[in-house]
Chain A
């Protein structure tokens, strides 16, 4: 089941772990959302988490960021280089964020009545020191911090291609722009690892290509990226390693090539038995997962690559609306 891990393409030392998740189990009443999931994420890698809807991907994210506390297991994080591993469990979300873990949301959660610039500034300023009194009196260091955060916010907006929209209200931005603004806001907190929850949902093919470039660029700057995504083309093109979840359990982990050939994964997505999946794999030359629409539920079959790209975008678009 667990594939032996290979060295990622990243340049950072391979032995340093950003996330060390040891057998976490998360239950809601009788429902087990995550069942004994383990995951080792290395510094500087792009790790994708895939799986059908309801597989527990977002639950995993929430467990890693302190929103949920798993009943069993341990989550250790050392987001920035040289950090001592610290347990996330029981810590408040904002504390986890201060440990260097930033995230975006599946259903966009921007501060829609603030401008794009202000959204990013909120992120940047959580690392600043000046308090209310220095703000009321307009003390020099407060003004300096204010200037710093504005300058830095403009840089970040420029980086995600929103420099021209800085003074627009976040709520009035286009869908794809809102997704990128969320990433900019998360980057504002200066994270060592960023968790992206379906960043490509509802975006068009051009935006997807830009997003892939952005993710790779973020990674190149030394930020580890943990990515939930349904768009297989995007996942396969950027991820160094992939973790596959189904029904709250880890069913596979490995490089994109390994995952595409993994019968358990194909079975999970096609909703067939593993043997059928193996024969299916044997009869086709091209990697199977490229041809499967992974945005639907496991029982839903889609066929060709072309279709999956188009329908995947629309399906995700519908889903990405106010949930």
Chain B
């Protein structure tokens, strides 16, 4: 039979249209039944929306086919962020949930509900009625016109409008949400704000660009290198002002008290003087003082000033925290609100002020660190001396990295208290624990290059060790070994280390796929042993017999007891994570870190250079395993109950996916990957039907591996591997495209 061959154009068209149909089916409901498997197909194909998706496929086809014609336009300054911003906005307005207590809380349904309710503030109704269209269509058109006609003023106007509408989106959404009440996990307005900020960025690129062809990165670099730390200070200032003016400081049921209200409320109460002062006037003074010091440091690029500002910021944050403690405990004593102790009934205001002050201080730190830069930036060779723009490039890049890292730290410290119960719970039990596990597995997979598909087994060993040591298993430990969870940490780490060595010693002569299979088997063995309950040790599939106790630190004069609040565990986790990160960061740059890289790159050469590859690989296994032992202790004592179902193979594979997704071999990448991929299912919970979640996560992984195989934040060493030599100087795109090109012909 003659092979049927289509002209490539036709094939591409069909593929694009088929992609549209697949997407249409993914977006629709997936529920079928045994009698009716075709439900989702009919839903997708017989509905009007199929036309939209086919048009989308057609658009992709046109873009691919006429790529050469399109590319010059895409390279015009600001076009790419414009496209990205519009896409984000479309997603936020049509796909995302804005208010999930409504059963169908997508933007459209929510907007109908809001516009039909006259009691809601007019501004919110205006936004949901027509203002959003101005943002979605007006701003992009304005920017497009500015690009075509090269009118700078227009671009500035568009930028301002974009920011205003973006802020309005959040304000209107929260106003309407407050009015309706109920627990709301939706992200629509935040994503919309993000989209508008991207549009504003695009407008900024258009307005500031002098060149015919420009990349957004250049603009971003110029912004970041202009005054290092300035963006952080600006964001901090905005947050600080928000908290001092509009945000809620105390929010017992039915009340939303701003800073002024709160101050008035506590007038004449027995609130301590310091807290009263902060509420009354000191908060403003603190913000102004820290801002002045940090602003001066950033503007003058002064190191001593920067450190002084950072110190001031820390003191201010502490004062705010004392105040928060003061007002919440006073309110609880007075029986005001539902709280029975400190830290309850607090609004977001105090925490937002903390974030703001922290970010301003962080900006000052970035400015202070700036003078360290040239030494690190000038590492390039004599052959290629660092040019002015190259130095700018390097400086901007490290500034950007530092700024982002400090921003993340600020959020990690002060955002969780403002989140609702659901997110606090997710942050600790899923996101936090898996971040810790991913950091551990990163040692094995990312640094030493050993594919371990049974990593969850060490986590199980850590958890069961904790349960045993705290007397939660049917078999009780001898009384001298009965430990509190925190004391169990070193023992669990040690046991996991030993388990790592025991698994590693006989198997590490295996390479690649074979090692993966053996570790996979190991993971299953540990789980099945736990299920089989040998010697009544593990209590079988029912899990631990009595709950693992919460950790307690009792130093006599001070007693910290972890209870049922997720928040307390979050801070414990942050401390553990910080310690692990510092240790691992040092390891990566040490002799052992280089040996790992050497073994990963070329084991034969590493041996010939005198590296004891067996020992090095065993250490990778042991150190990785000990991290998951730590995670096991944390997990065990936090949830109290666990059973073998927590340690299934699927979880091992997920951790591998987190590490790969984040960027193998990169500490920050492992954190980002695990955080993103554990956050995503929780996020999708309110956006798509429950049974579709895995599919969307799969789609995200797929897209990621096609377009960014090196991961979210690739390690320098790994990046070099994946992008090949050509991509080393960043002038050539990742080599992934170059490979099939030669084979296709």
Of A5-13, A70-78, A91-99, A198-206, the stretch lying at the interface with chain B is A91-99
A-B contact pairs, 13 of them (CB 8 A): A93-B604, A93-B607, A93-B608, A111-B606, A113-B597, A113-B717, A118-B597, A121-B594, A125-B594, A132-B623, A164-B381, A168-B381, A171-B720
- Chain B residues positioned under 8 Å from A103 (CB to CB): 608
User: Does any Cβ of A come within 8 Å of B2's Cβ?
Assistant: no
Closest to B715 in A: A113
Determine how close the nearest CB of chain B comes to the CB of A301; give it in whole angstroms. Answer: 35
User: Does any Cβ of B come within 8 Å of A237's Cβ?
Assistant: no
- Additional A-B contact list (20), CB under 8 Å, known A94-B610, A113-B720, A122-B606: A67-B608, A93-B608, A94-B607, A94-B609, A94-B611, A105-B605, A109-B602, A110-B605, A111-B602, A113-B718, A113-B721, A118-B594, A122-B598, A127-B610, A131-B592, A136-B587, A145-B591, A166-B381, A171-B724, A171-B728
Contact of B383 with A164 in the complex, beta carbons under 8 Å = yes
- Chain B residues positioned under 8 Å from A164 (CB to CB): 381-383
- Chain A residues positioned under 8 Å from B593 (CB to CB): 135
User: Does any Cβ of A come within 8 Å of B742's Cβ?
Assistant: no
Contact of B608 with A128 in the complex, beta carbons under 8 Å = no
Q: Ordered nearest first, which 3 A-B pairs have the shortest CB separation?
A: A126-B610, A135-B590, A97-B610
- Chain B residues positioned under 8 Å from A112 (CB to CB): 601, 720-721
CA distance A169 to B610 in the complex (A): 21
User: Does any Cβ of B come within 8 Å of A292's Cβ?
Assistant: no
CA distance A179 to B407 in the complex (A): 44
Of residues A105, A135, A138, which shows the largest number of chain B Cβ atoms within 10 Å of its Cβ?
A: A135
User: Does any Cβ of B come within 8 Å of A172's Cβ?
Assistant: yes
Interface residues of B (CB under 8 A from A): 379-383, 583-584, 586-587, 590-595, 597-598, 601-602, 604-613, 619, 623, 717-718, 720-721, 724-725, 728
Contact of B608 with A167 in the complex, beta carbons under 8 Å = no
Closest to A131 in B: B592
Contact of A135 with B610 in the complex, beta carbons under 8 Å = no
Contact of B598 with A111 in the complex, beta carbons under 8 Å = yes
User: Does any Cβ of B come within 8 Å of A185's Cβ?
Assistant: yes
Q: Which of B583, B587, B611 contacts A122 (CB 8 A)?
A: B611
Determine how close the nearest CB of chain A comes to the CB of B38; give it in whole angstroms. Answer: 50
Contact of A189 with B380 in the complex, beta carbons under 8 Å = no
- Chain A residues positioned under 8 Å from B721 (CB to CB): 112-113
- Chain A residues positioned under 8 Å from B717 (CB to CB): 113-114
Closest to A119 in B: B598
Asked if A123 meets B605 with Cβ closer than 8 Å, knowing A114-B598, A164-B382, A166-B381, the reply is no
Which residues A173-207 have CB closer than 8 A to chain B? Answer: 185-186, 188-189
Determine how close the nearest CB of chain B comes to the CB of A244; give it in whole angstroms. Answer: 25
CA distance A94 to B725 in the complex (A): 29
Interface residues of A (CB under 8 A from B): 65, 67, 92-94, 97-98, 102-103, 105, 109-114, 118, 121-123, 125-128, 130-132, 135-138, 142, 145-146, 149, 164-169, 171-172, 185-186, 188-189
Asked if A125 meets B595 with Cβ closer than 8 Å, knowing A93-B607, A113-B721, the reply is yes
Contact of B591 with A146 in the complex, beta carbons under 8 Å = yes
- Chain A residues positioned under 8 Å from B623 (CB to CB): 132
- Chain A residues positioned under 8 Å from B612 (CB to CB): 94, 126
Closest to B716 in A: A113
Contact of A169 with B728 in the complex, beta carbons under 8 Å = yes
Closest to A103 in B: B608
Determine how close the nearest CB of chain B comes to the CB of A180; give it in whole angstroms. Answer: 15
Asked if A123 meets B587 with Cβ closer than 8 Å, knowing A112-B720, A113-B597, A169-B728, the reply is no
Contact of B610 with A123 in the complex, beta carbons under 8 Å = yes
CA distance A103 to B606 in the complex (A): 11
Determine how close the nearest CB of chain A comes to the CB of B140; give it in whole angstroms. Answer: 41
Contact of A167 with B613 in the complex, beta carbons under 8 Å = no
Contact of A135 with B587 in the complex, beta carbons under 8 Å = yes
- Chain A residues positioned under 8 Å from B610 (CB to CB): 94, 97-98, 102, 123, 126-127, 189
CA distance A36 to B724 in the complex (A): 44
Contact of A97 with B725 in the complex, beta carbons under 8 Å = no
Contact of A167 with B586 in the complex, beta carbons under 8 Å = no
Contact of A122 with B609 in the complex, beta carbons under 8 Å = yes
Closest to A166 in B: B381
Closest to B605 in A: A109
- Chain A residues positioned under 8 Å from B595 (CB to CB): 122, 125-126
Q: Which of B583, B587, B591, B604 contacts A125 (CB 8 A)?
A: B591
Q: Which of A111, A137, A166, A168 contacts B597 (CB 8 A)?
A: A111
CA distance A165 to B728 in the complex (A): 14
CA distance A171 to B276 in the complex (A): 63
Contact of B587 with A114 in the complex, beta carbons under 8 Å = no
Q: Which of A92, A126, A137, A149 contacts B609 (CB 8 A)?
A: A126
Q: Which of A97, A132, A168 contacts B608 (CB 8 A)?
A: A97
Determine how close the nearest CB of chain B comes to the CB of A193; give it in whole angstroms. Answer: 13
CA distance A105 to B609 in the complex (A): 11
CA distance A186 to B717 in the complex (A): 21
CA distance A113 to B714 in the complex (A): 13
- Chain B residues positioned under 8 Å from A185 (CB to CB): 609
CA distance A114 to B598 in the complex (A): 8
- Chain B residues positioned under 8 Å from A127 (CB to CB): 610
Contact of A136 with B608 in the complex, beta carbons under 8 Å = no
- Chain A residues positioned under 8 Å from B587 (CB to CB): 132, 135-136
